[in-house]
Amino acid sequence: MKQVVIVDNLVYAYTNSEPVLKEISFTLNAGEKVALMGATGSGKSTLLENLIGLKKPGSGKIWINGLLLEPKNLPEIRRQVGFAFQDANDQLFMPTILEDIMFGPLNYGVPKAEATDKARELLASFGLEAYANRSVHELSGGQKRLAAIAAILALEPDILILDEPTNGLDPAWRRNLAKVLLTLPVQVMLIASHDLHWLGRVTQRALVLSGGRIHLDKDTQSLLQEPETLDKLGLPLDW
Ligand X SMILES: Nc1ncnc2c1ncn2[C@@H]1O[C@H](COP(=O)(O)OP(=O)(O)OP(=O)(O)O)[C@@H](O)[C@H]1O
Q: What does the binding site for ligand X look like in residue numbers (CB under 6 A)?
A: 14, 20, 38, 40-46, 86
Q: Rule CB under 5 A: say whether 45 interacts with Mg ion.
A: yes
Look at the alpha carbons of 99, 102, 104, 109 in this order and tell me if their dihedral is positive or negative: negative
CA 147 from chain centre, in angstroms, equals: 14
Beta pairing, strands 213-219 & 205-210: antiparallel
Which residue, 40 or 183, is less far from ligand X as judged by CB?
40
In angstroms, what is the minimal distance from the CB of 212 to ligand X?
A: 9
Which residue, 152 or 154, is less far from Mg ion as judged by CB?
152
Q: Which does 41 bind (CB under 5 to 8 A by kind): ligand X, Mg ion, none?
A: ligand X
How buried is 84 (Cβ within 10 angstroms: 0-12 exposed, 13-18 middle, 19+ buried)? buried
DSSP state of 130: G
Strand partners, 145: none
Q: Which does 40 bind (CB under 5 to 8 A by kind): ligand X, Mg ion, none?
A: ligand X
Q: Which does 104 bind (CB under 5 to 8 A by kind): ligand X, Mg ion, none?
A: none
Residue 192 near residue 163, CB atoms below 8 Å? yes
Q: Which does 149 bind (CB under 5 to 8 A by kind): ligand X, Mg ion, none?
A: none
In angstroms, what is the minimal distance from the CB of 164 to ligand X?
A: 6
In angstroms, what is the minimal distance from the CB of 88 to ligand X?
A: 14
Backbone phi, psi, residue 3, to 5°: -90, 115
Q: What is the tally of helices (H) and strands (E) in the chain?
A: 9, 10
Which residue, 46 or 166, is less far from ligand X as judged by CB?
46
Q: Which does 108 bind (CB under 5 to 8 A by kind): ligand X, Mg ion, none?
A: none
> Which residue's Cβ lies closest to Mg ion?
45
Give the residue ranges of DSSP H helices in 13-140: 44-51, 74-80, 97-107, 112-125
In angstroms, what is the minimal distance from the CB of 19 to ligand X?
A: 10
Q: Rule CB under 5 A: say whether 91 interacts with Mg ion.
A: no
In angstroms, what is the minimal distance from the CB of 104 to ligand X?
A: 24
* 72/77 Cα distance (integer angstroms): 10
Residues 70-89 that bind Mg ion (CB under 5 A): 86
In angstroms, what is the minimal distance from the CB of 92 to ligand X?
A: 19
In sequence order, which residues have a C-beta less than 8 Å from that of residue 185 and are 6 or more positions away?
none
Q: SS3 of 25, please?
A: strand
Q: How many CA atoms lie within 13 A of 50 on its CB side?
A: 28
Which residue, 57 or 104, is less far from ligand X as judged by CB?
57
Q: Rule CB under 5 A: say whether 50 interacts with Mg ion.
A: no
Residues that bind Mg ion (CB under 5 A): 44-45, 86
